[in-house]
Chains A and B, each alone.
Chain A
């Protein structure tokens, strides 16, 4: 199975800050990577697919980059609703695997 190493596991930031979350695959996955936002009590939300394509309706302060084994999710100008948990997912090979998540906390 492809292992997805996501870091950091948690990060503290202030409103208006920029944060970057990284995800490293144990083998090359091309651009087959997605990012999700999980808010307690809500359905997960797709933010980015194919490593860098913004899902329709997602604010432009979210962006993704990378290919091969190293990927990043960047969130600019943090808003109150952004302080939840984020996961990466490789879509290259069954079984599709997720990172362990990054909890974004308000400083």
Chain B
């Protein structure tokens, strides 16, 4: 069974940092590109970042570029999102998601984690 298990929610002050994690099981992790998608309260979905199977290709939305860093550890079957210089507008439910195999740059997301609520507030 494919599972993506995310770390718990957290409150962080503006300007602070946080690392989200997503532990996967049930599939060969290094066969797949992985993604982060977020949903602000009462809002729609927003793609945040992608990493290729080996971490060689990474991309970010303009809203997080320069502040967030995606990474993966294929030995630990884990995906990460390092979030720095956090702003109140980064408050959202953050999902990790798997891209369908072979669709790195034209992905549909076939499995999702349960989400991690990040609240940026003083």
Q: Which of B46, B109, B112, B113 has most A Cβ within 10 Å?
A: B109
Contact partner of B110 among A55, A96, A98, CB < 8 A?
Answer: A55
The reply to whether A44 and B112 form a contact with Cβ atoms under 8 Å apart is yes
| Interface residue count on the A side (C-beta < 8 Å) | 24
Residues B115 and A43 in contact, CB atoms below 8 Å apart: yes
Assess the B107–A96 pair: CB atoms within 8 A. Answer: yes
Contact-residue size bin, chain B (C-beta under 8 Å from the other chain): 20 to 34
Query: Do A46 and B110 contact each other (CB < 8 Å), given the known contacts A94-B105, A95-B61?
Result: yes
Task: Judge whether A92 and B108 touch: CB under 8 Å.
Answer: no
In the bound complex, residues from chain B placing their C-beta under 8 Å from that of A99 are 44
Q: Which chain A residues lie closer than 8 Å to B50 at the CB level?
A: 94
The answer to whether B87 has its CB under 8 Å from any CB of chain A is: no
B33 to chain A, nearest CB (A): 12
Interface positions of B (Cβ within 8 A of A): 4, 44-47, 50, 59, 61-62, 95, 97, 100, 103, 105-115
Selected A-B contacts with CB under 8 Å, 23 pairs: A36-B45, A43-B4, A43-B111, A43-B112, A43-B114, A43-B115, A44-B109, A46-B108, A46-B111, A49-B100, A49-B108, A92-B106, A94-B50, A94-B105, A95-B47, A95-B61, A95-B62, A96-B47, A97-B47, A98-B44, A98-B47, A99-B44, A101-B44
